[in-house]
Amino acid sequence: MPTYKLRAAAQFLGVSDDTLRRWVDAGRLDTTRDASGRHVVDGVALARLAEELAAVAPRPDVQPIGQSSTRNRFTGLVTRVVRDSVMAQVEIQAGPHRLVSLMSREAADELGLEPGVAAVAAVKSTNVVVEIPKE
């Protein structure tokens, strides 16, 4: 099961390190300690909190588009993976954005996609390609 240092967890949630530490102190998010004694956050719990925050986040007003890129990348956390014998549905929470990708089960298995795993949704037209960032 993946775990994340507090700084990485704060970045996924779009908050400062200090805010995340206050949430930990207040009991909003549990931590454990890694082998070095540093606080780490469970990936599944982090994904759940990301979904909760996104559900209550104010949505920015839609602005006219001045320029557009042909590729957009959203870094976030996998929140749900539904597999059948051939296909997999993967949901990623990237800040206030929820992205859903349909892919082969084989691809999802090879990428090790499970709730709490960090992933990048690369969007091009109607296709969403899921990538795992290098550490």
Tokens of 19: 């805010």
Tokens of 60: 């920015």
Cross-strand pairs, 98: 93
Query: What H or E segment, with its residue span, contains residue 48?
Result: helix 43-56
**Per-residue pLDDT tens digits for 4-38:** 999 999 999 989 999 999 999 999 999 999 999 99
pTM, 2 dp: 0.66
Residue 96: what pLDDT?
A: 87
Residue 69: what pLDDT?
A: 52
Tokens of 12: 């996924």
> What is the pairing mode between strands 87-94 and 72-83?
antiparallel
- Given a cut of 90, whether residue 117 has pLDDT beyond it is yes
Residue 71: what pLDDT?
A: 61
What residue spans define the domains of the chain?
3-55, 72-131
What is the arrangement of strands in the sheet containing 3-5, beginning at the earlier edge strand? 3-5, 39-42, 32-33
Please report which confidence band the pLDDT of residue 134 belongs to, taking 50, 70 and 90 as the band edges: confident
Specify the fold of 72-131.
OB fold (Dihydrolipoamide Acetyltransferase, E2P) (2.40.50)
Question: Domain 3-55's class?
Answer: mainly alpha
- Given a cut of 60, whether residue 99 has pLDDT beyond it is yes
Residue 42: what pLDDT?
A: 94
The larger pLDDT score, comparing residue 134 to residue 27, is at 27
Tell me if 126 sits within 8 A of 117, measured CB to CB.
no
Tokens of 99: 């992205």
**Per-residue pLDDT tens digits for 54-98:** 888 776 665 554 544 536 778 899 999 999 999 999 999 998 899
Dihedral angle of Cα 33, 11, 116, 101, to the nearest 10 degrees: -170
Residue 23: what pLDDT?
A: 95
Whole-angstrom distance, CA of residue 20 vs CA of residue 101: 29
